[in-house]
Amino acid sequence: MSRVTYANVADTAEQERLRETHAVRVVADTEEGTGVDKLPGGVYGFTYSPGLLNAPLFAVRRYRSYEIHKLGAGETFIVGFTDRETASRIGLGTIDGNVLVRPDPDPSADTLVTIPYSRIRHHRQYASPNQEGFTVSLGKVEK
């Protein structure tokens, strides 16, 4: 019987710059496993439950886990990857419907996106370590 080995994908330079821009630090040992809603602003971590208000955050990236940022002011973001066109529409706030976001870059999803929790209308609330991506329904940004 063979054993399955999962390889973690290294952070991209874009992710590292985004952490600096968002002014976030990795969750401390004493904060690990705490829901993002209970954490102070200015932290980031990794979870298998992106989009959940109480998604537990961990300091170490695991296979297909999603990066979550909670900014100093309290706004929470999913950090992921999608195709260039979808990323542009997310950035412009023109998507009104479902998008597929992946935790790591790949040839079909190589553009970094940040999705504020405030834009999420609906998503399936389950852990996603074995899924290729996370489908989330976004609302348009009202101007």
State pLDDT tens for residues 40-50: 999 999 998 88
Residues in the chain: 143
Q: Is residue 46 part of a domain?
A: yes
Q: What is the pLDDT of residues 93-110, one digit of tens each?
A: 888 888 889 999 989 899
Q: Which domain holds residue 111?
A: 13-138
Q: Is residue 42 part of a domain?
A: yes
Q: Is residue 114 part of a domain?
A: yes
In terms of pLDDT, which residue wins out, 50 or 21? 21
Taking residues 27-46, report their average pLDDT: 97
Q: Is residue 116 part of a domain?
A: yes
Alpha carbon 113 to its chain's center: 8
pTM equals 0.88
Q: Is residue 102 part of a domain?
A: yes
pLDDT for 70 beyond 90: yes
For residues 44 and 21, give the distance between their C-alpha atoms in angstroms, rounded to a whole number: 12
Q: Is residue 19 part of a domain?
A: yes
Q: Is residue 5 part of a domain?
A: no
Q: Is residue 1 part of a domain?
A: no
